[in-house]
Structure 1
């Protein structure tokens, strides 16, 4: 069973239960209306030692900040502003006391930076490695919420920043090069929170999500949810180094979105004026339900995919 096959089986198993106002599984966050014109979004992510991080290659302060940052990225990808989190920690005996205090200091400083309260959680002992679970909560005007299912044929596809630095950093870390720029980026992701909130307010933006498993995999979630296909121009992908690594490596936590082609140039200009950097066009949405890779305008026989847990 693949990771997303498992998720699909869970979705089917629970389809007979009333969602009590919450949207079903399928986006970066679930959504529930909380008042006239406003909605709350909620998401939960796990980080497990030896899967998402190596304890001897990252400081507890960095890990505390990253644990929160990757969850805030999901909230921003819905076009919402993060407001609160819950934190659950399972810690082995050698990660209590000084390690735990430094982890919480990193989590606190990231919370303070984005004005996000820690409002609850849980702690327990672990017989082996560290496990971190964060639940992030956000709010937004209901009309600003962006979903994976809203892409339309003809839309331009954009990414919010350069891709592949985190993947290159992981390779540096595994090779013992812990002090490179890419290694630092991998340990200290910068999710596009302000950008996500701003893009949520733009009506020309249709579908949006964040890039956690790599463009090659994450775009497929938008395509499946929207019932469309896409063409990606390899030469347009803003790669940190290698284009394949940029679309396959994952953990960039940058935004992926589709937008009305008639208003795409204005969106790009306004984004640059607001954030001082470009919104990168990388392809377009098509009616044919396939993902095609183009080089020099010609289809390439590539079967690129991003990270998968199973």
Structure 2
């Protein structure tokens, strides 16, 4: 069973149970509308030793920050600002003392940066490696929330940063090159929290998510839920220095925002983003009414079976 086949089974099994007002499975966060036009969003993410990180290649402090960062990125991708987190962690004996304290220091540093308190969680013993689960809660006006299902034919597709640096950094780590700049970047992702809130306030932005598994996989979630297709201009992909095109499309863990926006407002959005954040917003393609993902080079289709990270 694939990851998304399993998720679909879960969706079907729970469909008869009343949703209690929640918008559930499908986006980076579940949504709970509140009185007064506000909403809370909720997300949870797991990091497992040997799958998501190598303890010998990642310091406890770095892992504490990364565990939080990947969840804040999910909140930002909805156009919301994070307001609190919960942390659950299973630790083996050799990580239950100084390692655990350093982990919490890293988690606290990023929490302080984004004014996001840790308000609860759980700890337990592990007999086989470290497992970390973070639940992040965000808040935003309901009208500011961005969902994967809202892309429209004609929209411009944007990436809010360069791609492939984290994938190239992972390649360095696996080769034993632990002290390269790209390896450090892979271990220390920066969630686009302020950018996500800003995009949430922009009505011309329609669909949005963060890039965790690689554009080649993540974009398909927007296409499937919006019942649209896309054309991606390969020469427009913002490949990070030290990476390559395939890694930029398939490597994952860049945690940059991927969004679609009305074509009539695209130039203004790009210019105002650069003014606000000092970095480019990269147009990489367009949404089409015909289903499917088409890779273009100089306007001509190229057949590629590119896929991002698979959890199973």
Deviation at 1:36, TM superposition (A): 1.4
Relative to the length of structure 1, the TM-score reads 0.99
Alignment partner, residue 293 of structure 1: 295
Alpha-carbon distance in 2 for matches of 1:129, 1:179: 24
Alpha-carbon distance in 2 for matches of 1:77, 1:221: 13
1:114 aligns with 2:93: no
Once the two structures are superposed, what CA deviation does each residue of 1:216-257 show, in whole Å capped at 9, x if it has no partner?
000000000000000000100001121111010100000000
1:236 aligns with 2:236: yes
Alignment partner, residue 266 of structure 2: 264
Alignment partner, residue 70 of structure 2: 70
Alignment partner, residue 149 of structure 1: 149
Show the 5 A alignment for 1:171-250.
171-240=171-240, 241-250=243-252
Alignment partner, residue 311 of structure 2: 309
Deviation at 1:51, TM superposition (A): 0.2
Structure 2 residues not aligned, in runs of 5+? none
Partner of 1:268, secondary structure, is: helix
Relative to the length of structure 2, the TM-score reads 0.99
Alpha-carbon distance in 1 for matches of 2:154, 2:237: 18
Partner of 1:129, secondary structure, is: coil
Alignment partner, residue 20 of structure 2: 20
Number of residue equivalences: 310
Alpha-carbon distance in 1 for matches of 2:185, 2:19: 38
Alpha-carbon distance in 1 for matches of 2:59, 2:145: 35
Alpha-carbon distance in 1 for matches of 2:35, 2:185: 39
Deviation at 1:24, TM superposition (A): 2.0
Once the two structures are superposed, what CA deviation does each residue of 1:5-45 show, in whole Å capped at 9, x if it has no partner?
11111111100111101102000000011221100000000
Show the 5 A alignment for 1:48-63.
48-63=48-63
Alpha-carbon distance in 1 for matches of 2:274, 2:45: 31
Task: Write out the 4+ residue segments of structure 1 that deviate beyond 6 Å after TM superposition.
Answer: none
Partner of 1:36, secondary structure, is: helix
Once the two structures are superposed, what CA deviation does each residue of 1:156-205 show, in whole Å capped at 9, x if it has no partner?
00000000000000000010111111101000001111000000000000
Alpha-carbon distance in 2 for matches of 1:40, 1:164: 32
Alignment partner, residue 8 of structure 2: 8
Deviation at 1:285, TM superposition (A): 0.2
Alpha-carbon distance in 2 for matches of 1:278, 1:57: 31
Alignment partner, residue 161 of structure 1: 161
Alpha-carbon distance in 2 for matches of 1:87, 1:97: 17
Alpha-carbon distance in 2 for matches of 1:67, 1:137: 14
User: For the aligned residues, what is the CA RMSD?
Assistant: 0.5
Partner of 1:220, secondary structure, is: helix
Alpha-carbon distance in 2 for matches of 1:13, 1:185: 39
1:101 aligns with 2:101: yes
